[in-house]
Amino acid sequence: MKKAYLGIDIGSISTKGVIIDEKNKILASEYLWTEGNPIAAVKQLLKKLEVQFKKKTYQIVSVGTTGSARKLVGAMVGASVVKNEITAHAIGTTSLYPDVRTILEIGGQDSKIILVEDGIVVDYAMNTLCAAGTGSFLSSQAKRLGVEVEDFGKIALTSKNPTNIAARCTVFAESDLVHKAQIGHQKEDIIAGLCKAVVTNYLNNVGKGKKILPPIVFQGGVSKNIGVTKAFEEATGQDVLVDQNSHLMGALGVAILAKKSKEENVFSFDITDMEFKTIGIECQKCANHCEIICVYRDKKMIDSWGNRCENGAIPIKNS
């Protein structure tokens, strides 16, 4: 049987998964909403991947996880590799674009920039404090305008005169958008202005002080918005590449890292039938009062974390 590798990128808004072969070719992929429940989202993700996956030809021998819930999901699936998003996105992108110098990434609730030289990350920055300039921001504005967020990009491209929207803060952007609509600005101009504002916000915050050099690759869910891509090209004066799998780069990267780890542990899709539960407890054994997260599979604890000293360590019983 041929070997395959699973990568899962679980964020607060979306959950992504890919299965690759030895040559990093994607055999199966899926993208869905996390909806505040990473355990349920991963179970649904695995069920969808299983349908696409050729189990008679391939066997998954290693799993990697990344994203905000990477530890929890890593415990669920028995991951060989649990990595941060910067590393995962960089590995995924350089596997497809080895000459990339700048990676722009905008997700549902955060954004990041990664600078690369000779395939190695030399600098990065993240913005997780403000939703302005992220996918959730665009989604909420689309709802306010009565437009599907998937149509934002093509509508933006029809604008001849983008509206100037103040997008340094979500609250200001929303009030400014309402004001501009009330005084008669066209919907397509407002939408183009929002795309432009997202880029301005990104470059003034995440990209502040960073030298953005080509080749530039744009990824994350917002990269599917061609209006934002065009705004990035106008702002940087450079071509901006968007891969067909731009929304899956983190999952692809961590699948590659799982393959490179050489740590093999046969994965079974049967975990979708198991019951997983997390319980938070406050350790009282020292002044730290650490909040320790315990993960249970079918009522048996399989992992725990959160302790800052040995007093809070909880031994895992293998029997």
pLDDT at 317: 64
Q: Is the pTM here over 0.95, yes or no?
A: no
For each successive 10 residues of the chain (319 residues), what is the average pLDDT?
96 92 97 91 96 93 94 93 95 97 88 94 82 71 82 88 76 75 86 88 89 95 91 96 95 98 93 88 89 88 86 72
The pLDDT assigned to 85 comes to 92
Taking the domain 2-90+251-273, which CATH number applies? 3.30.420.40
| Integer Rg of the chain from CA | 21
Tokens of 171: 């609250």
**pLDDT at 301 (0 to 100):** 86
Distance between CA atoms of residues 283 and 286, nearest Å: 8
Q: Find out whether 195 and 225 touch, Cβ atoms under 8 Å.
A: yes
- pLDDT recorded at residue 151: 84
pLDDT at 319: 43
CATH number for domain 98-242, candidates 3.30.1330.10, 3.30.420.40, 3.30.365.10, 1.10.10.60: 3.30.420.40
Phi-psi region of 289 (alpha: psi -120 to 50; beta: other; left: phi over 0): left
Q: Which amino acid is at 128?
A: T
Where in the chain do CATH 3.30.420.40 domains reside? 2-90+251-273, 98-242
